[in-house]
Amino acid sequence: MDIKKKISRKISVAPMMDCTDRHDRYFLRLMSTNVMLYSEMVATKSAIHGDRSKILSYSPEEKPLALQVGGSDKKELAEVAKIAENMGYDEININLGCPSKKVQKNMFGACLMKEPDLVSDCINEMVNSCKIPVTAKTRIGVDNIEDFEYLNNFIGKIRKAGCKTFILHARKAILKGLSPKQNLNIPKLNYQMVYEIKKHNPDLEIIINGGISKIDEIKNHLNKCDGVMIGRSIYQNPYSLAEIEKEIFGNSDNPSREDVTKKLLEYVEKEVKLGTKVNHIMRHTVGLYHGQIGSKEWKRYLSDNMMARDSDFQKTKHIMTIAQNNEKANKVNL
């Protein structure tokens, strides 16, 4: 069944390697029907030559869903855009922001900010190969460049090639001297630069990203940009999506954590039968009780038991029971 949902990028969950796999996205979707979801970055060669049923498959419930791709070979990128469209993805996004050494070696990610002509050729080829939107996720600068004119020209070139949506991580990429992890916190965020880009390009869809977690912050950014992308804070506290649904989308009919765990249990049961390991799903749920009574117990129980052999599936059911008891305890203590 193809569940068609309209794309809105008002709020999206950031692509995160080793985090936003299909199981995590299914779990997140249980708490939010309105956010846009992104895959982890997939290299063009893996998407083209790898086992697509493993690398690119997803559940229809995850939609609307974007595939993020990493690469700089225009033919390969165009082929992946076509594959994404044929597989029912709603968007293809090119990664122009990752600073890791491995990614640089393969000429994709943030180092492409120094190659605007190459990027523009790639985007042009992608746009011509598919009908789904081609979007770009980039940084506000790279190495010694943190300059409005440079970013604005870079965006201008890509825009001419047919990209109308830009996700701007408001922190410049440092290609040498910092680890990718450090570069998620250093140097300082510069939201103003993103606001300026929106002001100068009112017809482009500009999504702001980096260090955003609170509802007030989200509302403030939405006054100046078209959308907000959030990464780590949603991964650490996934149930914050319920608050986002309520406060940003006016949806008060949100599932409780108990409802979420019940639905997840059905998914786990189905997936285990297909050979998925319990921990491959449950590892994403460690933060479900973030800030709640019993959250430590939930985390401890998961870390002690989620490696259970699949045949020992009753343990997973027990994890869910703990979750439900926690939810009741929280209700009593409200």
Catalog residues that contact ligand FMN under the rule CB under 6 A. 14-19, 40-41, 68, 95, 97-98, 137, 169, 184, 209-212, 230-233
Contact 30, 260 (CB under 8 A): yes
Report, in Å, the least distance between residue 34 CB and ligand FMN. 18
Closest CB to ligand FMN among residues 98, 123: 98
Report, in Å, the least distance between residue 131 CB and ligand FMN. 23
Closest CB to ligand FMN among residues 68, 165: 68
Report, in Å, the least distance between residue 289 CB and ligand FMN. 20
Name the E strands within 190-293: 205-209, 227-230
Q: Which one from 19, 98, 111, 130 is the annotated catalytic residue?
A: 98
Give 291's contacts (C-beta < 8 A, 6+ positions apart).
237
Report, in Å, the least distance between residue 181 CB and ligand FMN. 8
> How many residues in the chain?
334
Residue 191, class by beta-carbon neighbours within 10 Å (0-12 exposed, 13-18 middle, 19+ buried)? buried
CA distances from 327 to 57, 239, 284 (A): 32, 12, 18
Q: Catalytic residue at 122?
A: no
Closest CB to ligand FMN among residues 197, 323: 197
CB-based closest residue to ligand FMN: 231
Query: How many other CB atoms are found less than 10 A from the CB of residue 329?
Result: 14
The residue type of 6 is K
Closest CB to ligand FMN among residues 212, 320: 212
Active-site amino acid positions:
98
